[in-house]
Chain A
Amino acid sequence: MAYQFAEEKVFCSGHHACPGCNAALAIRYIVNTLGKDTVAVVPPSCIAIISGPQPLSSMRIPVYQTTLEASAASAAGIKRALKARGKDHVNVVAMAGDGGTYDIGFQALSSAAERNEDIIYICLDNEGYMNTGAQKSSSTPFMAYTTSTPSGKPTVKKNIAEIMAAHRIPYTATATTGYLDDLVRKVQRAKEMKGMRFIVVLIPCLDGWGVADHEGAKISRLAVQTGIFPLYEVEDGRKYTLNHGPQGIPVEAYLRRQKRYRHLTGEQIDEIQRMVDSDWEYLRTKFDS
């Protein structure tokens, strides 16, 4: 598949991501869509590494590196100050990992959503604490291996999109790197809106998931096509629109390509299939209404 996007050159090559990293790919399309009139906030994560060590920067915009739990509050502070200085047109985007979003940063995120802060918050969700060597987060899926869940995580992945939609913020969306056109359209849409906008982007992590260097986008597409990670958007926590849903491919096709699921028994795969089916049945009712 080949894409053609009108990109503003904000993101530069020569950064420190693993070769083939899908987080870097996502960041490129996010910041190049938001453009130069943007300030970014980044907490400790692979995103911070990709942002670059002093005095280098991979982005031609101001990047404020904050603490792990404070992204949403930090972004809100910048936006309020820019507004006070008469620069309300500047986009403020927080780009945080799943650990910095689902776990330690969740309190600040939920509060920023409740206050309907005029910021774009993008979670680059690689389903674990990769920067510290692949430990579990509350985004890690059921049965996935991480260094802190060596027998597989016994509990299910937290559903952050539904949690954020329940805050009834103007815009919530899911996206992933296998559907870059969809990601770019969602970032563009978010850019044109005001108030709190939240996008969770599923990022296959080559190292943390045990995926071949060239397979990130393929895994990402399988996540959608198996129904594990449907792509949709929600306006005001009410109006649900499906963009890409399951295509009848069994979850096994997704799981078997990743080392983090290597230990799974046939029964466990069946159990995951049942869970994914049931989650999809529940979610699809929201699109009907």
Chain B
Amino acid sequence: MLLNGNHAAAYGVKLARPKVVPVYPITPQTPILEKISEFQARGEMEVDIMTMESEHSAMAACITASLAGVRVFTATASQGLMLMHEMLHYASGAQAPIVMCNVNRTIGSPWGFWPDQTDSLAQRDTGWIQYYCENPQESLDTVLQAFRVAEKVLLPAMVIHEAFYVSHALEVVEVPDREVADRYLPPFDPPHRLDPEIGESWGNVVNQDMFYRHRKTLGRSMDQALEAAIEADSLWQELTGRGYGVIEEYRCRDAELLIVTMGCMAGTAREAVDQLREAGVPVGLLKVKLFRPFPVDQVRRALKGVPGVVVLDRNFAPGTGGFLHQELKAALYGLEGGPAVHGCLAGVGGTNVSPTKIAALAREAMGGKPSVFPVWKG
């Protein structure tokens, strides 16, 4: 089928059969909720869609519906995600395995509608699993993987792709069969639920020790999410022939420099790598798909012995720089024979970054010393 990223994600949602979907419109996410509404209207999805008055309430309803024992989905972007912030923590605290698509869009002020990952990356510490997707097919596949992982470790998961480049770009997408999805994703039937027959409560005030233990438990669930994500991806590969890994290494053999990035920039970087390799420049690509939990061991293994990396961040945190750049430096800490790390702020605010441009950045990095801080590279 010819589908854009949003509609592809909606097909993934349909296959996952959530029972309750609280939503609130925001560009460029709206086509996801419109498609789900269309599936419901055509009788192709048995789902209760709640048309909320805000993203804050949408997430509030997601949490309780999930805790009452049904599979739940929602989608948002930018300002909507910002408004949800309080409830994102509440969701992970409650260990509610909600799956949400976030379409990366610049955060105001000023207003903009452009691809920029700062919205979701700024939520990296909310206790949500985060997946970054490169294209519509990956978004569809990842929605199903995210449900499998979330329900296994009892944490909420975000499936993220960028505005327009992925959300509105049409590509050929293979929609898996119903039977495949059902085999992959068993019905959600958690033993702990809000139900008078069970009588369990959630959210009461706890003392310091209980809070401490709860945060530790949350951390353990997040650690387990890495194993679960690897398992979910390899099973998906078995069933559909498509797997992505938690990281992807592209033409990394004998590379003297690796380009490290996330989301659809990985597609552009792949072309740059091909160009450079053709010109005899030993460059590869490391794509980080799973950002939370951060696949530290996988990244260290991939970068050990590589002389240099250049990180491309389409996001920006004033005072610290690019999120991936920070995470990567932290992940490499103490690694003997680790690479020199160059950080580039590239594509922040949605500016165009071409393969030629990435190739030039790679060549530049190979010739120079990295600065501690990321450099603005348009």
Contact = CB atoms under 8 A, between A and B. Distances in A.
A127 interface: no
B60 A54 contact: no
B196 A54 contact: no
Given A53-B204, A54-B204, A63-B204, A74 B194 contact: no
Interface stretch (A82-90, A207-215, A229-237, A278-286): A82-90
A238 to B, nearest CB: 24
B195 A80 contact: no
Contacts of A55: 204
Contacts of A149: none
Contact of A36 (B62, B196, B205): B196
Nearest to A110: B53
Most B Cβ at <10 Å: residue of A37, A39, A51: A39
B207 interface: yes
B64 A87 contact: no
A77 B201 contact: no
B50 interface: yes
A73 B60 contact: yes
A75 interface: yes
Contacts of B194: 39, 62, 64, 78
Given A54-B210, A67-B60, A73 B201 contact: no
Interface in B196-221: 196, 198-207, 210
A287 B22 CA distance: 38
A48 B52 contact: no
A234 B131 CA distance: 50
B69 A64 contact: no
A81 B69 contact: yes
A85 to B, nearest CB: 6
A65 interface: yes
B67 interface: yes
Nearest to A57: B201
B86 interface: yes
Given A77-B22, A77-B68, A81-B19, A64 B48 contact: no
B65 interface: yes
Most B Cβ at <10 Å: residue of A37, A74, A111: A74
B72 to A, nearest CB: 8
A201 interface: no
A70 interface: yes
A107 B371 CA distance: 48
Contacts of A64: 64, 67, 194, 201-203
A60 to B, nearest CB: 7
Given A81-B19, A87-B195, A90-B196, A66 B203 contact: yes
B309 interface: no
Nearest to A36: B196
A107 B53 contact: yes
A76 B195 contact: no
B199 A61 contact: yes
A126 B203 CA distance: 23
Most A Cβ at <10 Å: residue of B68, B199, B210: B68
B48 A84 contact: yes
B348 to A, nearest CB: 32
B60 A108 contact: yes
B61 interface: yes
Nearest to B57: A73
A194 interface: no
Interface in B5-60: 19-20, 22, 48, 50-54, 56-58, 60
B63 interface: yes
B140 interface: no
Contacts of A36: 196
Contact of B205 (A53, A66, A73, A84): A53
B65 A77 contact: yes
Contacts of B67: 64, 78, 81
Interface string A32-73: 000011110100000011011111110011111111011011
A54 B211 CA distance: 11
A62 B198 contact: yes
A87 B200 CA distance: 16
B250 interface: no
Nearest to B94: A64
Given A48-B205, A115-B51, A73 B70 contact: no
A56 B205 CA distance: 10
A56 B204 CA distance: 9
A115 B54 CA distance: 13
Given A66-B203, A70-B60, A82 B51 contact: no
B52 A73 contact: yes
A74 B20 contact: no
Most B Cβ at <10 Å: residue of A77, A114, A115: A77
Contacts of B57: 70, 72-73, 107-108, 111
A72 B22 CA distance: 13
A81 B20 contact: yes
Given A53-B205, A77-B22, A110-B53, 12 more contacts: A39-B196, A57-B204, A62-B201, A63-B201, A64-B202, A70-B87, A80-B48, A80-B50, A81-B72, A85-B69, A107-B54, A115-B51
Nearest 10 A-B pairs (CB), nearest first? Answer: A65-B203, A111-B53, A77-B61, A77-B64, A81-B68, A73-B57, A70-B60, A73-B60, A81-B65, A54-B204
30 contacts: A41-B64, A52-B204, A53-B205, A55-B204, A57-B201, A61-B199, A62-B195, A62-B198, A62-B202, A63-B201, A63-B204, A64-B67, A64-B201, A64-B203, A65-B201, A69-B56, A73-B60, A77-B60, A78-B64, A80-B50, A81-B67, A81-B70, A81-B72, A82-B68, A84-B19, A85-B70, A107-B54, A107-B57, A108-B53, A111-B57
